[in-house]
Structure 1
Amino acid sequence: MQAVYHLLWNIVQLLVALAILFVANYLRSPFLANLRFWLFWLVLGLSLSLIISAVIGIKKHRSLLKMLSVLVLIVSFAGFSSILGTEAKFHLVKHQIFSTDANRLEKLGNHFIVGYRDFEGLKKLVEHRAIGGVFITARNIKEQSKADIQQQISTLQGIRQQQGLSPLWIAVDQEGGIVSRLSPPLTQLPPLATIISEEQPIEQSKAAVIKYARVHGQELSEIGVNLNFAPVVDLNKGVVNPQDKFSQIYRRAISADREVVAKVALWYCQTLEEYGVKCTIKHFPGLGRVDTDTHIDHAELDTPLSELVADDWVPFRQVMNNSQAFTMLGHAKLMAVDDQNPVSFSSAVVGDMIRKSWQHDGVLITDDFCMQAVYSSKAGLAAATIEAINAGIDLVLIAFTQDLYYPAMDALLKADQAGILDQVVLDKSYRRLEQAKIISRG
């Protein structure tokens, strides 16, 4: 009976060791960002306990039990080594970035807008001129007033001013409706779709749209925000997927009518510009037809180009051509153009179609690179960052966890040193970003 007990105990230990090894290999995944600190110490402690137990078992037992103890020792040591190695590599990369020449860091850092969980850590990035913008969301403003948020933004912009640099992009996700990350303390507005009437000519809703946009524009500008990730111009195709926990375009889209969306979005953007706040139309190439959530999976848009041009892309093109709006590129694959890479870092879509064919010279920003569609893509985060910048993307958004900024920046620094980055593309991007800031301040 005792032998059976020892056998079962060794099997349990082996299973725990395998689980630890799995967690250790994925500890730096963005999905574990909220648990990473506790998981690190838990995995470390369990690994050490299993190693000690296995050593005792090897000395104490024979035959099968001894073999199991050896397996537990090997797997536990692998997990222990993996987690220490992963953390050591991360902190080494972080140290190397902060040790980089400030001018190089500034040059490439201008292409990143970064979210944060630790304000002091964010300040360090700003002090080292390592980023071009900051993303503020609900977790950053818990129990804070408008004055508190304004003070933090002023602190960051004050650092930039002392450095003699142009202001940071201070970005938020304040669409209205379910995506109102700064409400409270900012006013909670309903979705844009609820203030227009589909039964009347859309021009009759113009005053209501402008009034709505003025609330956003005034409140955002008062606290120091100069970039809003709104409006959503994906058409509402009625696609509902129970597995879609985050995107839910059907709840955020303005309308199914391309002309209605185009006009409402343009009125909204032009109104925000009056307050020095840039709008961002999203999520090109349009997620209204996509039934997969790119936060957690890969997605494909296989609609023929002719149909997209005549329908889904009408709002994008009209707002692009008639405002200073930024355009956010999503992570769905546009199958008719590039069936290998998400749009956000596809040279065929960004470089060849948007920049060359459309001759669009406005600012392009990616959706969050922490999303699974990028992080676990065939290219991976590092290559995706390089490809995005070389394709003509101006700003890479790393919002969910700033930890992913470090491997992304490390990739750019190495690519720059190796001569892989397209300097002509970088120069054009620098001009676009600086021009956008001049217009915004003006």
Structure 2
Amino acid sequence: MFFLLKSLKLLLVIATLLFACIFRTPFAAGLRGWTFGLILFISLGIIASELITWKGERTKTKLIIQFLVVAIASSGFFIATGTEARFNWIKHSVLNTEIIRLENLGRHFVVGYRNFDEVRELVSKRAIGGVFITARNVQNKTKDEIKQEIQTLQTIRQGQGLPPLWIATDQEGGMISRLSPPLTLLPQLSSLIDSAAIDRSKDEVVNYAKTHGSELAEVGVNLNFAPVVDLNKGVISPNDKFSQIYQRAISTDANIITKVASWYCQTLEEYGVRCTLKHFPGLGRVETDTHLEDAELQTPVEELAREDWIPFRTLMSDTQSLTMLSHAKLVAVDPEHPTSFSKSVVTGILRDDWNYNGILITDDFSMGAVYRSKDGLRNATVKAINAGVDLVLISYDKDLYYEAMDALLKADLRNELEQQALEESRRRLETIS
């Protein structure tokens, strides 16, 4: 019985230790509210129970097992408390930074949230430039309730004399419809398309876009992370758990994508809602999922320019859309860095070669392709801003915002932020607001 009980305790403390090591990673973002307390409760409970029963006749083997249980439980406790203390210190430091510095660097962040009071505090401190809302923020709420929360944030912003916040969401239609319900759930945009006679589809696309545009504007959303203009190459891979571009792309034909996306974006703009072209340089050929791991786009630039980049380049000129940068590596240009913080791609191709002066926003920096990259979140954030990115999106795990902002603040103190890039980005953001 002794050995069975100790074996169960040993398994429990090992599991607790593992959770202590990962509870502050994006993987555990949805569990974090109670995980930390549970780790402490289990660790301290087991340590106390072992110390209470320490006395008495014990064989050497029993003492070794008992010591091992206490040691592992203690490790879990100290790792968890140390990790949590570090996070809270960084959060405290960021929130107590002088307002002007928070405003200057905070304009570059669009942040998701799980607690409305926390995002309201960030807005009050001028620490962010935008807010991402998704299903967890609107669950069981009416349109009026959502509108009221958004208006609360915009009223704070207006009182500060600053441009309106970006209020962003993912409302593509079909499988990615984060605000449905209460907004109308529409099918994938691709389902409306008659590829043989594309112009006949215009009215349907425009009416579709009117529903999106009017409903998003009604609740206060001014930025939609749609449409997907990646070329559908029919890539279906067991390594792609979440992106699944083959289900979300408009078409296999770049010219059809360009037409449909143009109708869609121009219609949304009539309602004061901007589109986001995603995910440059294109995920249609990528077989791994940037949500979870590193991904590479191996296609030569010349081939991408002939096909995949036609919608991006045309729409970046003809609409007021933002462009979202994916975390796939464009291997032919920069095999070391994801596009989202690659200076060779952002500055070299988009800013210099294409002379693009619109807003560039990253895909979510909570994703594994960034968080688990060799640069890590902190270096990736600094490199993105220095590369000419305007907005860094941190939507799934909002706690990463504090780490990313801390990295920018420290880089600024060390004169590691390129002032020309910051100034040019400031002008772009102020011009488009």
Normalised by the shorter chain, which TM-score bucket? over 0.9
1:62 to 2:54 alignment: no
Instruction: Output aligned runs, 1:117-196, within 5 Å.
Output: 117-196=114-193
Deviation at 1:291, TM superposition (A): 1.7
Tell me, yes or no, if the aligned pair for 1:300 and 1:332 is still in contact at 8 Å. Answer: yes
- Report the Cα distance in structure 1 between the residues aligned to 2:37 and 2:141, rounded to whole angstroms: 31
Instruction: Output aligned runs, 1:245-256, within 5 Å.
Output: 245-256=241-252
- Report the Cα distance in structure 2 between the residues aligned to 1:106 and 1:190, rounded to whole angstroms: 39
Given candidates 256, 261, 264, the residue that maps to 1:265 is 261
State the SS of the aligned residue for 1:205. helix
1:109 alignment partner in structure 2: 106
TM-score calculated relative to the size of structure 2: 0.97
1:281 to 2:277 alignment: yes
- Report the Cα distance in structure 2 between the residues aligned to 1:19 and 1:184, rounded to whole angstroms: 37
1:197 alignment partner in structure 2: 194
- Report the Cα distance in structure 2 between the residues aligned to 1:333 and 1:235, rounded to whole angstroms: 17
One-letter amino acid of the counterpart of residue 273, structure 2: V
Deviation at 1:242, TM superposition (A): 4.0
More displaced 10-residue stretch of structure 1: 86-95 or 44-53: 44-53
2:330 alignment partner in structure 1: 334
Given candidates 393, 410, 414, the residue that maps to 1:414 is 410
- Report the Cα distance in structure 1 between the residues aligned to 2:135 and 2:376, rounded to whole angstroms: 28
- Report the Cα distance in structure 2 between the residues aligned to 1:380 and 1:53, rounded to whole angstroms: 39
1:220 to 2:208 alignment: no
Tell me the alpha carbon deviations over residues 59-93 of structure 1, each in whole angstroms, 9 at most, x when there is no partner.
Answer: 43231221222222222111101111111111111
Deviation at 1:243, TM superposition (A): 4.6
- Report the Cα distance in structure 2 between the residues aligned to 1:297 and 1:385, rounded to whole angstroms: 18
State the SS of the aligned residue for 1:134. strand
Tell me the alpha carbon deviations over residues 136-193 of structure 1, each in whole angstroms, 9 at most, x when there is no partner.
Answer: 1111111211111111111100000111111000001111111111112212211111
Identical counterparts, % of pairs:
56
1:72 alignment partner in structure 2: 69
* 4+ residue runs over 4 A deviation: none
1:349 alignment partner in structure 2: 345
State the SS of the aligned residue for 2:13. helix
Deviation at 1:109, TM superposition (A): 0.5
Tell me, yes or no, if the aligned pair for 1:58 and 1:70 is still in contact at 8 Å. Answer: no
Tell me, yes or no, if the aligned pair for 1:226 and 1:277 is still in contact at 8 Å. Answer: yes
1:440 alignment partner in structure 2: none
Tell me the alpha carbon deviations over residues 17-49 of structure 1, each in whole angstroms, 9 at most, x when there is no partner.
Answer: 222222111111112112112211211111112
- Report the Cα distance in structure 2 between the residues aligned to 1:312 and 1:275, rounded to whole angstroms: 28
1:99 alignment partner in structure 2: 96
- Report the Cα distance in structure 2 between the residues aligned to 1:303 and 1:374, rounded to whole angstroms: 21
2:295 alignment partner in structure 1: 299
Tell me, yes or no, if the aligned pair for 1:55 and 1:69 is still in contact at 8 Å. Answer: no
Tell me the alpha carbon deviations over residues 225-278 of structure 1, each in whole angstroms, 9 at most, x when there is no partner.
Answer: 111100000111111124533211111100000000011111211221122111
More displaced 10-residue stretch of structure 1: 155-164 or 337-346: 337-346
2:309 alignment partner in structure 1: 313
- Report the Cα distance in structure 2 between the residues aligned to 1:312 and 1:349, rounded to whole angstroms: 15
Deviation at 1:348, TM superposition (A): 1.3
Please list every run of 5 or more consecutive structure 2 residues that lacks an aligned counterpart in the other structure. Answer: none
State the SS of the aligned residue for 1:199. helix
- Report the Cα distance in structure 1 between the residues aligned to 2:52 and 2:335, rounded to whole angstroms: 54
More displaced 10-residue stretch of structure 1: 379-388 or 10-19: 10-19
Tell me, yes or no, if the aligned pair for 1:57 and 1:69 is still in contact at 8 Å. Answer: no
Q: How many residues align?
A: 432
One-letter amino acid of the counterpart of residue 49, structure 1: G
1:426 to 2:422 alignment: yes
Deviation at 1:6, TM superposition (A): 2.5
Tell me, yes or no, if the aligned pair for 1:57 and 1:65 is still in contact at 8 Å. Answer: no
Tell me the alpha carbon deviations over residues 384-433 of structure 1, each in whole angstroms, 9 at most, x when there is no partner.
Answer: 11111111110000111211111111111111111111111001001101
